[in-house]
Chains A and B, each alone.
Chain A
């Protein structure tokens, strides 16, 4: 059924269709609409989930961790300050190997107080062992929640489905809401191999000496590597069933391009129009959207942009003291590449929700195209000083 819905509500529907069994959440703008809708869904019986209205995000994640460890399919959602408060428990969820799915609405970190989008909240959680999916539209948001459980429950690592504040969370778009019976065929009930079980009592997360700790971490990395295959396979399978295919990255007119723009989230969806416009003017440009940031799609990135003339990365985030984070990681993917390494331009734009319009993207493209190499590691776009 096609419906015009907000990005936040796409999350709520994704959770409903995944038949989540527990929800624990705490309100924060711009995530609130997600949990308000889920409160209605659980109150009116559309969803059978038990919804615990906790007193903080730290508890939201701790509750979700507890429910997931008991063998239930568990869900939560947050944003920004809330995600930061959860940080300790993000490690717990991943380290306990729990297939939790959480939506995070990308909102910039305070101070100064802000509610608008950038990626520094979720990227600060980069090394917690969560998979991270950056969505470009509301349809992808809904689909990624369902896909999140499908993948997480195979690799025993949690998934963070990420959507831009307001540009998706509060923007209405046409979304195909699949029939729950069809979703059931794709996503069977969660059947963990191991869980808290009185008939098989075990202690979870006990003291680990230096003699054993490292092996647990090795296994997490092994599962992250495996997740690349699983995400690709399930993304294809999903495409067969629902007509929408998803992968680690998405290419747009890259084949014969000599200049590639790398972007994520809604900046990438806006960029498509710029690519079309430049193509019409005869410029050989293409777009590589990074959809999955963890696990990082190194091979796909190198395959698409290796040997190209120029690469331009737009980051809506910054690692203070370094550069934009996607830029840094894309560059890193090439260090051991023996082919022709393209020069890379790293732009920072749109922090704290400043618009990254087609005009802004076009100016970035034109700026990079006219230069042989970047004059500095960070190229700030639109900073007023």
Chain B
């Protein structure tokens, strides 16, 4: 295997407006390193519409179109169509959205673009709630989590929506999970997406210290623990049927290690940990069956 290099060039500047330890900001930095300057971004309402800076500033040195909350996928495919119609074929268009703009309000447009196999990359940086508007639950919020709309005495009582499975069901060329705690894997996936035609989606686990009530220095650690506890498996699916586990977790840590460092899970009791552990074990088993069956 060839040695992986992460491009040195910084296309995103440090003068952005993200909080300390924001994994959503870090993920963008990596993506732009791989995608380079021949890239255009469509960003809907989310933390990133603030992170990039107010008019007339921008933290990224590529064209960026701010668009409505539910339109990242279709604004990106409209951009792509417009470029191709003008004979510009070598510019990558990336839709970059939060979990709310993806799992919830923007879901219909994503399904449309995926079904048509529009030639764009869709990236969701998943901080598991609506952070821009002050930490409200989304359908990506995990079971048991506190948010301002799922208060501690009535936390979220439904599991996180399984986005990757739904996208796989669209039989798109490439859909994958990734994590800022595993940059080599993340970079490889961006490269693969860059070299694949059609609709690609990368679901990036992106800790948010502000919304998760956690010190910023634990951002990467929490992302790593999510993988090592099997809470967030790192895998990919090609054409909807070829499953591949990218990071195998042979000896998982108990979920408590991941949960206990975050204030959003502080209200949980031992029994709750057991329920969550059970859910995680079951989901992992299910995924392993797919990985073994559909190679």
A residues touching B (Cβ–Cβ < 8 Å)?
21-22, 24, 48-50, 52-56, 58-59, 62-72, 74, 88-89, 92, 196-198, 200-209, 212
Contact = CB atoms under 8 A, between A and B. Distances in A.
Contact of A67 (B40, B66, B67, B81): B81
B85 interface: yes
A62 B81 contact: no
Interface of B: 37-40, 42, 49-50, 52-58, 60-68, 70-71, 74-86, 88, 91, 108-109, 111-112, 115-116, 118
7 contacts: A49-B85, A52-B78, A63-B74, A66-B67, A203-B63, A204-B66, A205-B66
B55 to A, nearest CB: 4
Contacts of A55: 108-109, 111-112, 115
B78 A64 contact: yes
A196 B58 contact: no
Contacts of A74: 78, 82
A64 B109 CA distance: 14
Contact of A92 (B67, B80, B109): B67
Contacts of B63: 196-198, 200-204
B40 A196 contact: yes
B271 to A, nearest CB: 43
A225 to B, nearest CB: 24
Nearest to A88: B68
A207 B82 contact: no
B67 A65 contact: yes
Nearest to B76: A66
Given A50-B85, A198-B38, A207 B49 contact: yes
Given A67-B79, A206-B53, A208-B54, A21 B68 contact: no
- Give the interface SS of chain B, mostly helix, strand, loop or mixed: mixed
A209 B74 CA distance: 27
A202 B60 CA distance: 9
A69 B85 contact: no
Give the interface centre of B42, B56, B74, B76 by most chain A CB atoms within 10 Å: B74
Contact of B82 (A59, A66, A198, A200): A66
A88 B71 CA distance: 11
Given A201-B58, A206-B57, A207-B50, A196 B79 contact: yes
Given A66-B67, A70-B86, A89-B68, 10 more contacts: A24-B78, A56-B112, A63-B75, A65-B78, A72-B82, A74-B82, A201-B64, A203-B57, A206-B58, A212-B55
Given A52-B116, A67-B85, A204-B66, A62 B78 contact: yes
B70 to A, nearest CB: 7
A207 B53 CA distance: 7
A244 to B, nearest CB: 29
B78 A71 contact: no
Given A56-B108, A207-B54, A62 B67 contact: yes
Given A50-B85, A196-B65, A205-B66, A66 B109 contact: no
Contact of A70 (B37, B66, B83, B108): B83
Contacts of B86: 21, 70-72
A206 B50 CA distance: 8
A70 B58 contact: no
Contacts of B77: 52, 63, 66
Contact of A203 (B52, B91, B111): B52
Nearest to B92: A198
Given A59-B74, A198-B91, A206-B55, A22 B68 contact: no
B112 A66 contact: no
Contacts of B58: 201-203, 206
A63 B78 contact: yes
Contact of B74 (A22, A66, A201, A212): A66
Given A52-B77, A58-B71, A203 B82 contact: no
A209 B54 contact: yes
A-B pairs with lowest CB-CB distance, top 3 = A66-B78, A70-B82, A55-B112
Contacts of B67: 62, 65-66, 92, 205
A72 B55 contact: no
Contacts of B62: 198, 201
Nearest to B109: A59
A99 to B, nearest CB: 13
A384 to B, nearest CB: 41
A21 B83 CA distance: 10
Contact of A206 (B54, B78, B111, B115): B54
B39 to A, nearest CB: 7
B184 to A, nearest CB: 27
B154 to A, nearest CB: 32
B81 A52 contact: yes
A64 to B, nearest CB: 6
